[in-house]
Amino acid sequence: MKNLSLYHIPIGYMLLYTVFILATGVWLFLLSLGLSGSGGIMATVQKILSSPEPKSLQHFMEVTTPHMFSMGALLFVVAHFMLFSTKISQRTSLIISMLLFVFLLFNIFSYGTISLGFVVSGWIKLLSMFLFVGMFLLLLGIVAVSL
């Protein structure tokens, strides 16, 4: 029989590390869109909604490639920790993991809709980011509680 209590150490470290990665990712996203100005977070969000920074297709490819790899690898690792859960069914784990990957793709390709000119507002990027971050925090909470 496996000693599941020893899994708490790497999983706890992974949860803490992942929360820091997520927080710095959101912070860098807001900084790249003008948070360093004197207006604060709400002024930055209003700026994103009203007129996002102009994007190009080349910049979209430069941003998308590392994001798909790194975010996908992180989700892969976190979702696999749910395999050790004795409290969450595999069906629920599968649904949450698949929804998270769908929100990840929606988050990445919402940037493409702005760069190709389909959307002239940043609302789709903010919505996709909040959906992804919210679902990811739900997954982290489930992993933390389920062990």
> What pLDDT does 100 receive?
86
Average pLDDT value for the chain: 76
Cα separation values, 82 from 12, 19, 45, 93, 110, Å: 13, 17, 34, 7, 28
- Under the banding of pLDDT at 50, 70 and 90, the label for residue 125 is confident
- Under the banding of pLDDT at 50, 70 and 90, the label for residue 1 is very low
Domain boundaries along the sequence of the chain: 4-146
* 47-88 tens-digit pLDDT: 766 766 666 777 777 777 777 787 778 778 777 777 777 788
Say if pTM beats, i.e. exceeds, 0.95: no
